[in-house]
Structure 1
């Protein structure tokens, strides 16, 4: 009777797969653990902007005439923008190129895990890195260079949307740029070079008023210039607006340009991303 009952009993329903979001968050936890296990990568990622801030803050220790703002405060705001973009564009561009070269992407594409979960995991990792990097730079700016944190909710709201739009656009551009290097060995050079150039022409280290117009026009095409401008509006206040070309932070244009790069980055990802390396055919 037991055998007959087992034969006619309905088969157990197959276990349901977790949602794409749940898998992506789990993948994000794995990516973050892997990142923090690479001690040299952790040290370089967090120490590099700190070293630049201390160096430039020590070399250019004076103030900007008529503003009450020091060069160190200006560099802190700019390096926050560079740190956010570096966490998205540079880290993802190099990291995904490495995953493609060592076969990680190919193996993941052959598993039941939705492909979107891989990208969600990468974005979670980028958000963690960017948040920690910004927190460290803010702590140094406040402790060493008298950087003023926003005293009103509106200032923090501006910080939040500039951060979210900036890190999202940078992450998508990093995903798209990961297809440019021919191998993991060349990824650091291919991805890092344009990022370093952008930092020097986007107001991170050199105020816009000291650059030739053609470089200003080039920088204005890319998101880093607008991210730095948005962060300067938060941490330098009304006094810093006189340092901008338009004598205003133009936050409406900041939002528009970053949103445009968000859409453009998504289009680039969809049209250029490859799961296999060039050697895989």
Structure 2
């Protein structure tokens, strides 16, 4: 009787349909968030780094931008929101997936019935949670310490939404693609972080474009971070902040076009370069 019951149970389990990819991805996302927030060191560094930079730069470079009524601290707040969103996708995924590849997590998951897409859905959910929390924290600091005014128009929040979603999605895809560059998990932090730090300095996060040479501006204009920051400045600095842009306009149509292009380009890079196995696995 026991063997018969066991056989019936196994047959019933085999006949049971697999959960959908979305459901598995949501479950994976919940697991990714649990694992992330259990790593206290990673949580503290991830959220404290942009906060420390904002407080430091906001304290050192005080005063207003000439003729705009916008303080330097408010300018940094908008820029660091862009950098925080980019870092949540590109840096966190680039380093994290490289670690998953080396410790065998990717290899084990590839051998399970779980659809591979569910793994990436889980990673994107984790990125969205980190990016949203980081944005809320930076906005709170900007509002309470630096008198940043939150937009009152619904259109501004619509702009924030599409800049955020295009930016974080493109950054996540680029992070997935970049995870294949490091030769090992130990080198991942250096390989991923160094270009990202350089990109922040040339993309208007810390240094206004009016103070940079044209050749650096041209290089920064190729990459998405410059346009993400420009989009966020349009939301939080308003019409007065447009005077600080090179063209005296936020060029939101161009922001949308370039971020969408990087989203598509990031997907192509993922499909062509991503590896489930480490270099040592052949």
TM category (shorter chain) comes to: over 0.9
> In the aligned structure 2, how far is the partner of 1:161 from the partner of 1:244?
20
Runs of 4+ in 1 over 3 A off after TM superposition: 10-13
Q: Name 2:138's counterpart in structure 1.
A: 137
Q: Name 1:274's counterpart in structure 2.
A: 275
Q: Name 1:128's counterpart in structure 2.
A: 129
Report the CA distance shift for 1:276/1:152 in structure 2 as closer, same or farther (over 3 A). Answer: same
Instruction: Confirm or deny that 1:223 pairs with 2:204.
Output: no
Encode CA deviations 1:129-176: one digit per residue, 9 max, x unaligned.
000000000000000001111101000000000000000000000000
Cα shift at 1:12:
8.3
Q: Name 1:205's counterpart in structure 2.
A: 206
Report the CA distance shift for 1:113/1:12 in structure 2 as closer, same or farther (over 3 A). Answer: closer
Report the CA distance shift for 1:13/1:201 in structure 2 as closer, same or farther (over 3 A). Answer: closer
> In the aligned structure 2, how far is the partner of 1:129 from the partner of 1:65?
34
Q: Name 1:26's counterpart in structure 2.
A: 27
Report the CA distance shift for 1:61/1:114 in structure 2 as closer, same or farther (over 3 A). Answer: same
Instruction: Confirm or deny that 1:254 pairs with 2:255.
Output: yes
Give the TM-score, by structure 2 length.
Answer: 0.96
Q: Name 2:37's counterpart in structure 1.
A: 36
Q: Name 1:190's counterpart in structure 2.
A: 191
Q: What secondary structure sits across from 1:189 in the alignment? A: helix
> In the aligned structure 1, how far is the partner of 2:66 from the partner of 2:151?
22
> In the aligned structure 1, how far is the partner of 2:247 from the partner of 2:105?
47
Give the TM-score, by structure 1 length.
Answer: 0.96
Q: What secondary structure sits across from 2:145 in the alignment? A: helix
Q: What secondary structure sits across from 2:125 in the alignment? A: helix
- What count of residue pairs does the alignment treat as equivalent? 275
Q: Could you list the runs of 5+ residues in structure 1 that have no partner in the other structure?
A: none
Q: Name 1:88's counterpart in structure 2.
A: 89
Q: Name 2:172's counterpart in structure 1.
A: 171
Cα shift at 1:11:
7.5
Encode CA deviations 1:8-29: one digit per residue, 9 max, x unaligned.
xx98871111000000010000
Q: Name 2:65's counterpart in structure 1.
A: 64
Two-structure CA RMSD over aligned residues (Å) = 1.5
> In the aligned structure 2, how far is the partner of 1:30 from the partner of 1:135?
23
Report the CA distance shift for 1:12/1:29 in structure 2 as closer, same or farther (over 3 A). Answer: closer
